[in-house]
């Protein structure tokens, strides 16, 4: 008998019929002898609907008081889906109880709409499990030290599930979603993309931070920190498929490198269209320049990704970096107004039509020539590389957005990702 956490996304909880299916699946696991904790998202569309109503009433509020009410509001989505699931389980003849975040409690800091989990009390949940009940814990929400309801950011139910699994030392956390696992790349771009049976947690972290939307990145960080075995799998298989088969399906996110059975050097290709490039030209090459440019951008709460500073010529240098496309206009404005005049830099230029394509694989640690293989592949396609950044297990390039699909397809092929490695 094991303690298992299931998490169901909004699509899986999308209607009474689907909730009934979730209940049947969970009941199957409980009847197989497992202690079950389930963390549901709100029914699909519900969080957007609620936040949309708030926006209608107050289009541009930013105060803390307003954000507090947003959390109060958005948290109801998960409260409803959790209660409905408990009701459906009871109707299946399973004893079941649901708890809102504050009832567990799941304690968070007080940053409304993007709170971080600080601790989870397990006494109440354990007592129910020991009494033979299936416990449903709302995703996405917690409570701060003053008793205010908080939420964890969009997609936060993934993080709730992993955190609950960590607190209860669950044997595995299964994330049921509308795709059947993690793929070598987005199958909409490369139809030959292959589902990975396993991926290391570090690779998953790189994939998630670079646009693979399967898991909220914070949930992956959490899983890494607390070593929670995580599996991403489909909730659209028949609920009564053989439980042993189901337990092996999807993609397992592993921690042991030698458990990484597939042994491919590159495991996946990630891409992100959501970036823009900014260059500050002709800045004096003196101490504090990077700080003055990027500090001003960071003060505006704008995240910076790839950064390049050129070698200087005649005491001047060029400085380029990428930001989220949504922050592009504001970043340019800040630089023009505050940084350029102070630094006496030449000009600010930018390009919002770029994208970032990355190859990810822990095998890159122990193999040389992987990056150059990537560059050769892109050059054979005639694709110009504008920026490059690397980490131990990833190489990213910034290229013109219009070549993104071509680049992803060519790289997927060059690294034999359609093939299952022998
Ligand atoms: N319901 C929340 C959202 O839509 C949290 C989640 O689904 O993970 O973002
Ligand atoms: Mg999600």
Gap from CA of 372 to ligand 2 centroid (Å)? 35
What topology does CATH give the domain 3-256?
Carbamate kinase (3.40.1160)
Spatial distance between the Cα atoms of 104 and 97, rounded to a whole number of angstroms:
12
Gap from CA of 143 to ligand 1 centroid (Å)? 17
pLDDT at 285: 86
- Ligand 1 neighbour 235 (Cβ under 6 A): no
State the pTM of this model.
Answer: 0.87
Residue 335, C-beta contacts closer than 8 angstroms, at least 6 positions apart? 278, 280, 293, 296, 297, 348
Token representation of residue 106: 């799941």
- Ligand 1 neighbour 77 (Cβ under 6 A): yes
The pLDDT tens digits of the residues spanning 303-353 come to 898 898 888 888 888 989 999 998 999 999 999 988 888 887 788 999 999
- Ligand 1 neighbour 139 (Cβ under 6 A): yes
Q: What are phi and psi of 193, to 5 degrees?
A: -55, 145
List the domain boundaries for the chain.
3-256, 268-414
Closest-lying ligand 1 atom to the alpha carbon of residue 152: 5
HSE on the CB side for 375, CA within 13 Å?
A: 11
What CATH superfamily is the domain 268-414? VC0802-like (3.30.2130.10)
- Ligand 1 neighbour 177 (Cβ under 6 A): no
Instruction: Render each residue's pLDDT in the chain as its tens digit; 422 residues.
Output: 899 999 999 999 999 999 999 999 999 999 999 999 999 999 999 999 999 999 999 887 778 899 999 999 999 999 999 999 999 999 999 999 999 999 999 999 999 999 999 999 999 999 999 999 999 999 999 999 999 999 999 999 999 999 999 999 999 999 999 889 999 999 889 999 999 999 999 999 988 776 667 888 899 999 999 999 999 999 999 999 999 999 999 999 988 765 555 567 899 999 998 899 999 998 888 888 889 899 999 988 888 988 988 888 888 889 899 999 989 999 999 999 888 888 877 889 999 999 999 999 998 988 889 999 999 999 999 999 999 999 999 999 999 999 999 999 999 999 999 876 55
CA-closest residue to ligand 1 atom 4? 47
């Amino acid at each position: 008998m094991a303690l298992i956490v299931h998490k169901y996304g909004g699509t899986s909880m999308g209607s009474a019929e689907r909730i009934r299916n979730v209940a049947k699946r969970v009941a199957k696991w409980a009847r197989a002898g497992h202690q079950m904790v389930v963390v549901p998202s709100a029914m699909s569309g519900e969080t957007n609907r609620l936040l949309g109503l708030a926006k209608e009433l107050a289009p541009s509020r930013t105060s803390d008081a307003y954000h507090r009410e947003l959390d109060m509001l958005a948290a109801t989505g998960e409260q409803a889906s959790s209660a409905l699931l408990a009701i459906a389980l009871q109707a299946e003849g399973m004893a079941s109880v649901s708890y809102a975040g504050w009832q567990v409690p799941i304690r968070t800091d007080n940053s409304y709409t993007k709170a971080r989990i600080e601790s989870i009390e397990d006494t109440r949940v354990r007592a129910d499990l020991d009494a033979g009940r299936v416990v449903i814990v709302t995703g996405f929400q917690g409570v701060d030290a003053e008793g205010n309801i908080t939420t964890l950011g969009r997609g936060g139910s993934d993080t709730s599930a992993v955190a609950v699994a960590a607190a209860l030392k669950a044997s595995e956390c299964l994330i049921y979603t509308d795709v059947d696992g993690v793929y070598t790349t987005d199958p909409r771009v490369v139809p030959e993309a292959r589902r990975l049976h396993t991926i290391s947690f570090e690779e998953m972290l790189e994939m998630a931070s670079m646009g693979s939307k399967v898991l909220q990145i914070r949930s992956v960080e959490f899983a890494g920190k607390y070593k929670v075995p995580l599996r991403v799998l489909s909730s659209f298989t028949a609920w009564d498929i053989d439980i042993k088969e189901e337990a092996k399906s999807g993609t397992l996110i592993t921690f042991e490198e030698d458990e990484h059975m597939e042994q491919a050097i590159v495991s996946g290709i990630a891409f992100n269209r959501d970036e823009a490039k900014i260059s500050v030209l002709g800045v004096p090459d003196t101490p504090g320049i990077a700080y003055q440019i990027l500090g001003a951008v960071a003060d505006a709460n704008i995240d910076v990704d790839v950064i390049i500073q050129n070698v200087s010529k005649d005491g001047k240098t060029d400085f380029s970096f990428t930001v989220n496309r949504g922050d592009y206009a504001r970043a340019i404005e800040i630089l023009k107004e505050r940084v350029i005049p102070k630094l006496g830099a030449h000009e600010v230029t930018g390009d919002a039509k770029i994208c970032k394509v990355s190859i990810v694989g822990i095998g890159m640690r122990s193999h040389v020539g992987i990056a150059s293989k990537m560059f050769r592949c892109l050059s054979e396609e005639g694709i110009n590389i504008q920026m490059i950044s690397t980490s131990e297990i990833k190489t990213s390039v910034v290229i013109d957005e219009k070549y993104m699909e071509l680049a992803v397809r060519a790289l997927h092929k060059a690294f034999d990702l359609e093939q299952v490695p022998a």
